[in-house]
Amino acid sequence: MTANPLLPESAVVLKTKQQTYDTITFTMALTGERQTKYRFQPGQFNMVSLFGIGEAPISISSEPERENSFDHTVRIVGNLTGALRQLEAGDLVGVRGPYGSGWPVDEAVGKDVLVVAGGIGLAPLRPVITHILANRPHYGKLEILYGARTPQDLLYTDEYESWRSALDCTVSATVDTVPEKQEWDGHVGVVTTLYKEMKTRPNNSVVMMCGPHIMMKFGIIGLEKDGFSPDNLYVSLERRMKCGVGMCGHCQTGPVHVCKDGPVFQYSRLQRMSLPVL
C-alpha cells in the first residue's frame, strides 16, 4: 500500500535563531530514523504544519551536505508563522517533503554562478551558496548580490565574512533605505543598482534569482540588457501552494503546477509558455 503523500511526519525543533526582528531560523530533525534517510536539493521546500492551525510551504535554507538536521528560515507574516514563532527546542511540528524542483547546481558545474536575492529570497538560495563553497573546485567564480528593505532586514549577516573569505567569492549587499537610528555604511539602492559593479559576465555563467515579484521582474530585464541569455537565468516562484504534490491545482499557472514543476524554473521555459509570472 502506497504511503499517503499528504500525511506529515513528526519533526522536532532542535534550536531557533533570531535572524531579524521578524524572521527566525528553525533547525529541525525528523523523529526516529527517518532523518538519516532525508535528503533534499537546493531550492526544494517542505510543507510545515502545526496541528489545529495549518500548513504552509517553506523553503529549506540549510546546506544539503548536512545530514542530521535541516533549517527553515521563516518570516512571521500570518497565523501559522505567528504560531511557529512561539516554538522552542523540543517542540514538535509536522513536515512533508522535500518537494519541487531545485536550483541547477549540477548544470552549473564548471561555470561562474551569480546569485541575486531580495529579502527573504536569500533563504532558498543559501543552500546554493553553501553547496558551492563545500564543493569549491567544481565551480567557477561565485558572486552574491543581495538587497533588503533596511539594514535590519538583512538575513545571515554573520555569514557574509565567511562567504567572502572563500576562494573567488564576492558578496555585495544593499538596502533600499536607511531609517533613522539604524547604522549602515554600505550601498543604498535596490539590488539591481549593484549591477553597475557586477563582475560576472554572460559567457559561461548561470544566474539564480529569488525575491519579490517586482525585484525579479526588473532584475531579469537588467540582466538581459547586459547580455545574459534566458537559458542561463533561473528563478524561484512563489504561488499559493497547498498540497505540494500537484493534486489540488491551487498553484496551477497555465500548464504547470508551481509546487511540482517548480518552484525553480528556467526563465526561457517561462517565456516559451508565455506564463504571466514575472
**Residue 5 preceded by cis peptide, ω within 30:** no
Q: What is the pLDDT of residues 161-170, one digit of tens each?
A: 999 999 999 9
∠ CA 72-126-18 to the nearest 5 degrees? 45
Q: What is the pLDDT of residues 105-114, one digit of tens each?
A: 999 999 999 9
In this prediction, residue 1 has a pLDDT band, given cuts at 50, 70 and 90, of very low
pLDDT(278) > 70 = no
pLDDT(118) > 90 = yes
State if pTM tops 0.85.
yes
**Residue 98 preceded by cis peptide, ω within 30:** yes
Q: Which residues contact 135 (CB under 8 A, 6 or more apart)?
A: none
For the chain, what is the mean pLDDT? 94
Distance CA 231, CA 234 (A): 8
Distance CA 233, CA 7 (A): 35
Q: In what order do the strands lie in the sheet with 233-236?
A: 187-188, 169-175, 142-148, 112-118, 205-210, 233-236, 264-266
- β-pairing, 92-99 vs 9-20, is antiparallel
Rounded-to-5 percentages of helix, strand, coil across the chain: 25, 30, 45
Q: Which residues contact 52 (CB under 8 A, 6 or more apart)?
A: none
Question: What pLDDT is recorded for position 2?
Answer: 44
Q: What is the pLDDT of residues 89-98, one digit of tens each?
A: 999 999 999 9
Q: Are 270 and 236 in contact (CB under 8 A)?
A: no
Q: Which residues contact 165 (CB under 8 A, 6 or more apart)?
A: none
